[in-house]
């Protein structure tokens, strides 16, 4: 099993051909003070499963704060079907919209994705405190 792709963005949606349309990928958020609130963001993950995987699997994504403690946990499940060897392994596209996410302190946050007892580092967000009028606002 492996994490093929991960990102945090403004919007994401599957299209009719099996692709994911992603808009507004970002890595930095600016806020005038903390705790800070992000009104809306979407976590996008693509997991490729092992060929031996089949059935329903639980997964979770923890947003870890700068101290490495979970600030938010998202849970989900995926149905994984068997694939013949002449086709790619099964993949799950996960689009997780989040509303009103609170970031307690500035610093580096990252998502840790876990499934089947394995953990993978997902996308990183840098929360930056600013008083600069020209910096992009949080939310």
Kindly provide the b/e burial profile for residues 34-64, where b requires at least 16 CB atoms within 10 angstroms of the residue's own CB.
eebebeebbbbbbbbbeeebeeebebebbbb
Residues 6+ apart with CB under 8 A from 68: none
**Residue 13 buriedness (CB in 10 A; 0-12 / 13-18 / 19+):** exposed
Residue range 2-129 forms a domain whose CATH class is: mainly beta
Delimit the domains of the chain by residue range: 2-129
pTM reported for the whole predicted model: 0.90
Could you read off the pLDDT of 56-111 as tens digits, one per residue? 999 999 999 999 999 999 999 999 998 888 999 999 999 999 999 999 999 999 99
Q: How confident is the model at residue 113 (pLDDT cuts 50, 70, 90)?
A: very high
């Amino acid at each position: 099993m492996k994490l093929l792709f991960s990102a945090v963005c403004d919007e994401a949606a599957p299209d009719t051909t099996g692709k994911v349309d992603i808009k507004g990928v970002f890595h930095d958020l600016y806020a005038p003070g903390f705790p800070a609130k992000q009104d809306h963001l979407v976590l996008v993950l693509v997991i490729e499963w092992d060929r031996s995987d089949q059935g329903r699997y639980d997964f979770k994504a923890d947003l870890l704060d700068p101290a490495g403690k979970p600030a938010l946990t998202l849970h989900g499940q995926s149905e994984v079907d068997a694939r013949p060897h002449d086709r790619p392994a099964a993949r799950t596209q996960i689009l997780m919209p989040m509303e009103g996410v609170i970031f307690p302190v500035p610093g580096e946050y990252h998502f840790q994705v876990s499934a089947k007892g394995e953990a993978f580092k997902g996308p990183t967000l840098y929360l930056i405190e600013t008083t600069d009028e020209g910096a992009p606002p949080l939310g």
